[in-house]
Amino acid sequence: MKILKAILPLLVSGQLITLLPAQDTDLKLVDWKPKSQLVVRETQILKPRFPVIDIHNHLGRLENTEEYLKQMDEAGVLQCVSLDARSANDFYKEHLEASERIAPGRFLVFFRPDFSKIDEPDFGIREAKRLEDAVRLGARGLKISKRLGLGARDKTGELLKVDDPRIDPIWAKCAELGIPVMIHVSDPKAFFTPIDEYNERYDELGTHPNWSFYGDEFPSKEEILAARNRVIARHPDTIFVGAHMGTLPEDLGRVAMWLEQYPNFYVDIDARISELGRQPYSARKFFIKYQDRVLFGTDTAPNAEAYRAYYRFLETDDEYFDPSGGHHLQGRWMIYGVHLPDDVLEKIYNKNALKILGMIKVPRD
């Protein structure tokens, strides 16, 4: 009775926890891996409903090309785009040769400009000519990485801006050749905010602190996106594919606005099902409304299980599942499937890619 009388006030005040034994060790947040107790359907999709064209991948490790092909065959992937055909040191020639030798027609290679030469006279014209030569050899697009705007610098030490006029001849050449530009500028919103208790990608940035672009030495995400949009507007005959859902999957309303504003702008879903799947209602509506402007991509070296994470997201209405197998851990949340209609699925899986890749005009010698 005396013990009960002593505990009762603590029960009322909510302080009983002070009487409970403490943990033997402190659990760090990075080590916390809770297992969900939900009982929900788990759908396994070994092959996609329709053949897949992976418009966004990195296959520059040429010694792995045969393994890439094996994984593609296992996962029902018809073609895979490599964005690693670097202009520097003529690597694009080596990449094209290896890809075609091992599996003709299965790998599509996108040329990547060498911005280290930005200060050379007539840089844009010279690099545009190299792009034309690459297309003649078999390249099927242009790749722009986030180094443009965040890493590449000119001789003054200033970061090279996305809309630098010295690059204009390259954008124009893409229109002339009828090839798309896969453009990845900036990064997730969380990468431009402090790595603190409010950052929703704290785990990811804790593992990769060099992925953070927060600070005065970098332009803001908004500045970079605005520069990209000026380029898209300045070159209306060039097809631009905004990697990672236009690099703003956290705000599909603005991505929709860009698609409405720029008829030459498309987006792909690579490495962003973690963002799209936590807003399944909005994502599904977006996919259906802009079904002619969305492409499939992964940004993950061909791996059958990684592909299947994407198929599950796109094809099922499964609830609360882990997306990290499709790329890597990006945030502490689960996702939901968007169970797209077949006609929309087929466009995202291959038809939209076939359309823009089919615009090419290979130059004659």
The whole-number mean pLDDT for each consecutive block of 10 residues of the chain, a chain of 365 residues, reads 49 47 69 86 96 98 98 98 97 98 97 98 98 98 98 96 98 98 97 94 90 95 98 98 98 98 98 97 98 98 96 97 83 93 98 97 83
Determine, yes or no, domain membership for 30: no
pLDDT at 34: 85
pLDDT at 112: 98
Determine, yes or no, domain membership for 29: no
240 φ, ψ (degrees, to nearest 5)? -115, 130
pLDDT at 8: 47
Residue 232 contacts by C-beta under 8 Å, 6 or more apart in sequence? 238, 240, 258, 262, 264, 265
Reading the block at residue 185, the tokens are 């500028």
Determine, yes or no, domain membership for 327: no
Q: How far apart are CA 56 and CA 145, in angstroms?
A: 12
pLDDT at 329: 78
Q: How far apart are CA 334 and CA 33, in angstroms?
A: 12
| Residue 285, domain extent | 51-303+342-357
Determine, yes or no, domain membership for 22: no
Reading the block at residue 214, the tokens are 């927060």
Q: How far apart are CA 365 and CA 362, in angstroms?
A: 10
Instruction: Determine contact, residues 194/214, Cβ cutoff 8 Å.
Output: yes
- Indicate the number of domains in the chain: 1
Q: State the CATH number of the domain containing residue 102.
A: 3.20.20.140
Q: Report CA torsion sign: 136, 137, 143, 145.
A: negative
Quick count: other Cβ atoms within 10 Å of Cβ 85? 29
Q: Please name which of 296, 307, 252, 301 lies closest in space to residue 270, comparing C-alpha atoms.
A: 296
Helix (H) or strand (E) holding 124: helix 123-137
Reading the block at residue 158, the tokens are 């200033």
Reading the block at residue 87, the tokens are 């202009």
Determine, yes or no, domain membership for 330: no
Residue 361 contacts by C-beta under 8 Å, 6 or more apart in sequence? 176, 177, 178
Determine, yes or no, domain membership for 124: yes
Determine, yes or no, domain membership for 64: yes
pLDDT at 23: 59
pLDDT at 19: 47
Q: For the chain, list the strands marked E by DSSP.
A: 52-57, 77-86, 107-112, 141-144, 181-183, 240-242, 265-268, 294-295
For residue 224, give Cα distances in angstroms to 13, 187, 227, 263, 319: 52, 10, 5, 20, 35
